[in-house]
Every structure is written in C-alpha cells, then in structure tokens.
Amino acid sequence: MSNEECNPRKSGLNIDLIQDDKKREIAKIVKQFLDAKHYTIRKFAEIDPPISLSTANNLMSPAYGSAPTPKILRKIARKIANESQDVNAEDIYKEMLKIIGEDEAKYPFNEEAKNVDGPKITESEIRNLLMEKISTLLLENNLSASYKAESSIRTQRIKKIFKGKDTENIFYPNIRYDFIATIKGPSELPIDTWLFNITQDTVFLGQRLPNLFYNVMIDATPKTKFSIITTKESVYEELIMRLKLGFTAFNAYVSVVLIGEDTFKETYIDTAKEPKDLDKVGLSITP
C-alpha cells in the first residue's frame, strides 16, 4: 500500500482499503456524511463537539489503528446530528456501538447515566493502591520488588545539533516516572523493570505524552514494562485510542490501567512483545 493510499487527505478517502471491518463500517457512515455536506476531514474535526485532526484522519485512514472508542463514537454521532435535520444523535451512536460490538449498558449515550470518570482518588491514594496491588501480584507468584517513587532512569538528556563547526547542547526537560518497580526473581522473567506514570487529565495527552514516550523509548529495554495509570475512563479510552497507533515495533511491554477503589482494568497496547508472557508469570494487573 503506497503512502498516498494511506493518507486520507490525498487518497479521496478510499475507505475500502481499511482492513478492520468495524473501523471500515464506521468510516462509511462518516464518509456518507462528509460527501453529503461536501466537508473536508478538517471541517469534520472542527464541528462541535470537536476532535483532534489526527483523530479524524486516523478514523478514515487504512494505515492506522482499529475501530474508534465509544467516547469518540459519541462525538461523531453528535457532530452528524448537529449538522443534519431529522437525525437523532443517540440513534446514530447506538448503530455505531452495535457495529463495534459494545454493550449500550456499559457505554450509554448520555455519559451522565454512568460515572465514566470513576471515584475521586488522589494521586497519593492511586500510588498506594497500585503498590499494594503489585506487591500482592508478586507475592502470589513468589516474586518481590523494590520501589522508587517519583524517579527517573536518566537525569538529563542532551542533543547535539551541528551548525557548521559549532555544536549546541539542548537540555531536554526530564520526565519523571511516578514510581519504578525493580522486579526481583529468576533471570528468565520477561521483565525486570516496571515503569508507572499517573495521569488524570487530557492536557497530558497532547503536551506531555510525546515527551514521556520519547523518554520511555530511550529508557526501555526488552525487559521493561511501562504502564500509564488513570482513574478516569474518558482518559483511559483516549489513551488506548492514541497508543494503538505506531508502537508495533516497540520492543517493550506497554499497558494502560484504569484504577478504582477496588477495581483494576488493564489493556495492553500492541508492541513487539507478547503480553501472554506476562500473564503466565503473574505480571499482568488483570490477565
């Protein structure tokens, strides 16, 4: 598949090239709307409620990801209804939710019908709950760990830019992990380091997530697991959507964890590593 075919802005939205059946059916609904209104993808992204241009492009591109999350489907449905006559947003949402195989009771159209962002928990409480959970997992599997809170693996990063004979040093802001667990056990364990970062807001997604992953890609080894932790289902879904793109060659384990007062939910991001290896030795939060 050529780059031009993969780029929705250059390919005339050739959604037939989308391999994921669920994503292709959602893209057909959006394309029908775009064709009827003579809208561009950029215009579609800007319609209230807005989504990022990258999310809109990924939605229609054969090259990236899978079907959108229920949160994105809600926005798509409202966009179409806001620009159309005699169209009900909830009906469109239910149709799309059925396409991706999700339950309306679990993902209601009116988010207020469900506490989608979970209980209010402080970062200190999150850290304590998480450390208790990890310690229990390790104990159950005859393993242990040492923990280092609010730490980093490297203290600074320097990039040299050559301008003729001159060299300029740029010091990158250090992104600190909320804590690091060093796993102690047999040498054949799939991981020996587990990095954690806690986030509760979407500002993190746009401003800090790229820098954080820049750090992780430098710090990580094939025996590293990196988990982003949140108590907000909206952030959890958005993270999964964003991280589905472009990490299949990343040689480390990556997961997103939704945490509540007594519940944990972990979703792995597709990388070069196989999560089942962690399941077998009890190093998945929710196998």
Q: For each successive 10 residues of the chain (287 residues), what is the average pLDDT?
A: 42 75 93 93 90 83 78 92 87 94 86 52 77 84 83 44 44 62 91 88 64 77 92 85 78 90 84 92 86
Provide DSSP, 106-122.
TS-SSGGGTTTT-S---
Per-residue confidence (pLDDT) for residue 217, from 0 to 100: 79
**pLDDT computed for residue 49 by the predictor:** 87
Q: What is the pLDDT of residue 112?
A: 47
Q: State residue 8's pLDDT score.
A: 45
Cβ-in-10-Å burial (0-12, 13-18, 19+) of 6 comes to middle
- The partner residues of 274 in beta bridges, in order of sequence, read none
Tens digits of per-residue pLDDT, 61-86?
886 667 888 888 999 999 999 998 77
First to last CA, the chain: 35
pTM of the model: 0.55
Q: Which DSSP state fits 68?
A: P
- The string of pLDDT tens digits covering residues 132-185 is 888 888 888 888 888 887 655 443 443 444 444 444 444 444 456 788 889 998
CA torsion sign, 177 to 202 to 264 to 211?
negative
- Least Cα distance to 158 among 146, 173, 143, 144 occurs for 173
Residue 103's contacts (CB-CB under 8 Å, 6 or more residues apart) are none
Residue 277, judged by CB atoms within 10 A of its CB (0-12, 13-18, 19+), counts as middle
Dihedral, 13, 15, 17, 23 alpha carbons, nearest 10: 140
Cα dihedral 86, 90, 92, 94 sign: negative
CA distance 234 to 199: 12
